[in-house]
A = this chain, B = another copy of it.
Amino acid sequence: MGEDAPVAKRDGLASVAGRDGLAIVAGRGELPRLLAEECVRRGRAYRVVVFEGVELPWLTGHPSIAASFEKPGRLFAALHAAGLAAVTFAGGLVRPSIRPLRFDLKMLCLAPRLLRGIRSGDDATLRLVAAIFEAEGFRIEAAQEILPELPATPGVHSRAMPSEADRADAGRAAAIVAAMGQVDVGQGAVVAGGICIGLESIQGTDAMLAFVAATDRAVRPKAKGVLFKGPKPSQDRRMDFPAIGPGTFENAAKAGLAGVVVEAGGVMILDHAATVAAADAHGLFLWAREP
């Protein structure tokens, strides 16, 4: 297939590292940028795959491949032509509105399976996308294999510490996220004084925190509450790994929370120094809780 040839041409380090060129399927957030910068740092060949409708303010200076959901056949050909044999998925992609008239041949073959997958929920869709890339000869590389320092290490990372009541709220929120995970929904919940005041759906964590921030104080318990984030049990961690960053703390502070709890090892902290600085600036705690 000759996938390795352009990699070797581009950069000898790729073969030294024993790894081949990487396609970074880029969504929202900081993770795809961090992965691209890691490739640059290690001298690894890569391309950023940019789907229609995805805005990447950091893209300038990075080699990229434009893609559309209707034409996976064209994308696979472009990836092979660029000599990329590994694919990583990073950052949330907005669910596209598909225009069937533009399907390429490959998509015509895949569409029935994909539509069934989408009906079964997020994880089913992602597992299917992974299987499709693998069937095309690509290896799926998890973001945390490339940046193994990102998953949260156990313990309290902030100056502020969770109280006993906060720990109880975190336990209840973790149980709620686990229950939702059974039906392939959400990765986050907000609990205050034992009461659930926010549940994450497809809109994501920041939208849930904005909903909590907008909630009438009279409806909320007196306790400030905690955000808990953790992976769904069914989640394919190669494809989708929950993440927090400094922005999570800006939004948690606006929502009046006491802190943020993540499942240790199950959630990435993007830009650890800036995230802890944001937590400390707002007096919030950041606790990576052992599951």
State whether B180 touches A97 (Cβ < 8 A): no
How long is the Cα–Cα vector from A172 to B196 in the complex, in angstroms? 21
How long is the Cα–Cα vector from A190 to B120 in the complex, in angstroms? 15
Which chain B positions have C-beta within 8 A of A182? 179
State whether A119 touches B193 (Cβ < 8 A): yes
Stretch at the interface among A41-49, A71-79, A200-208, A266-274: A200-208
How long is the Cα–Cα vector from A201 to B225 in the complex, in angstroms? 14
Closest CB-CB distance, A232 to chain B, in whole Å? Answer: 12
Chain A 161-200 interface 0/1 with B at a Cβ cutoff of 8 Å (1 = within): 0000000100010011001101101100010011111111
State whether A203 touches B175 (Cβ < 8 A): no
Which chain B positions have C-beta within 8 A of A175? 183
Quickly give the copy total for this chain.
2
State whether B53 touches A193 (Cβ < 8 A): no
Residue A218 is within 8 A (CB to CB) of chain B in the complex: yes
State whether A203 touches B197 (Cβ < 8 A): yes
With CB as the reference atom, state the residue of chain B lying closest to A192: B202
Which chain B positions have C-beta within 8 A of A199? 180, 185-186, 199-201
How long is the Cα–Cα vector from A222 to B120 in the complex, in angstroms? 16
What residues of chain A have their CB less than 8 Å away from a CB belonging to chain B? 53, 94-95, 97-98, 118-122, 168, 172, 175-176, 179-180, 182-183, 185-186, 190, 193-203, 207, 211, 215-216, 218-222
